[in-house]
Amino acid sequence: MIKKILIANRGEIAVRIIRACAEMGIRSVAVYTDPDRWALHVKRADEAYNIGSDPLACYLNPRQLVNLAVETGCDALHPGYGFLSENAELARICAERGIRFIGPSAEVISRMGDKTEARRSMIAAGVPVTPGTEGNLADLHEALAEAARIGYPVMLKATSGGGGRGIRRCNSQAELEQAWPRVISEATKAFGSADVFLEKCIVNPKHIEAQILADSHGNVVHLFERDCSIQRRNQKLIEIAPSPQLTPEQRAYIGDLAVRAAQAVGYENAGTVEFLLAEGEVYFMEMNTRVQVEHTISEQITGIDIVREQIRIAAGLPLSFGQEDVRHRGFAIQFRINAEDPKNGFLPSFGKITRYYAPGGPGVRVDTAIYTGYSIPPHFDSMCLKLIVWALTWEEALERGLRALDDMRLQGVKTTAAYYQEILRNPEFRSGVFDTSFVENHPELLNYSIKRKPEELALAIATALAAHAGL
């Protein structure tokens, strides 16, 4: 078995991996830059090393991270999500230095990270894809010609894009001409590549993704699906497992497609195959070659520890279960509690957390790296925590979500929590029938008011008085 893991990440996912290591008797090594000196993952790991003063650059230096893994006696490296988690060079350097990369091979990362190559692989495997270009676009002239062939609206996408970046919807020739330089610039800055392609825009689809696990012994299983349709500008806000919108036949079909996709590219470790569902048709969108932010809800409905399985697979062990052993029970909902102000265009709200109280009770899970007194640095993602609720029925999960969001106390920064309560109260959402246009079509949900409880008002007054007195 693996004995020591360097975690090439930060925040809540680093804490999540550290906890899995502790349960498996594996030593954990954290890395941090200067703004993260007091971060929770630094406090929780068995060892922690400062990798530089630059907030971001040092988290994005694959050779430095692998060198540190070797120097500290690690035999494996876990990339988490974001940063270098889908970086083929990191996986390649790990292999060169004898460090086990807890993820797929560099070849598979490269193949699935290139969205045009991924499309070709899925077509060969018989997995349905959206109509689009079969390669990268040479210039704007070719893009305009292809868009006319495909038919507007189209999606202009960065070949190496992800996380909602490097993507624009274009409803006309004029919009495509306007979006072209912006997407090229964003793709170059964010992903180091100016390659882009076009896909037919599936208007107002349901966004469904399937969690898969695959080992080096030829075993591939899916852990059912997650519904990620509640999103804003391609950024997921609320995720649900399983989807309340699928029939048993659709669920089985999507699970089988995900397994087929993984088998087609010789996949190993955890991954997610993302689909769009519209008018009864399913289309492959992309494959994420890492653990997802929303892996938590798949764990809640199946009882399977995905991070633990990731580590076992990297150690060369077979999956500890087969497809016939995987069952789903109840419904789980994840809320991404972001330090953002929904009433002000979702602008980031970084700063010091003056009070934090985690919700609890039956069926409530919180994955986070924040604490009272912690200052959220402005250099990273705005997510404060992931609040996950589980219940036997969809209706009970909704009520548990409302209660847990009300239980939580997070002061000092503005968050999306109250906005999520409005979504949970909305009849359309409660019906379990919605698509990716939900947030855009319900601007009225932003007209909420936050009702502060007496103790919160007292704390706010005391804080203001102390600040005024210079205490």
* Structure tokens belonging to residue 175: 């919009």
Ramachandran sector of residue 335 (left: φ over 0; alpha: ψ -120 to 50; beta: rest): beta
Nearest to 239 by CA among 283, 299, 194, 288: 299
Q: Are 77 and 102 in contact (CB under 8 A)?
A: yes
The whole-angstrom distance between residue 152's C-alpha and the CA centroid of its chain comes to 29
Q: Are 162 and 86 in contact (CB under 8 A)?
A: yes
Cis upstream peptide for 242 (omega within 30°): yes
Catalytic residue selected from 10, 119, 290, 365: 290
290 is catalytic: yes
Strands 355-357 and 375-376: unpaired
Amino acid 407 reads: D
Calpha distance 370→409 (Å, rounded): 12
**Segment (H or E) for 453:** none
**Segment (H or E) for 200:** strand 196-200
Contacts of 67 (CB under 8 A, 6+ apart): 97
For the annotated catalytic residues, the residue numbers are 290
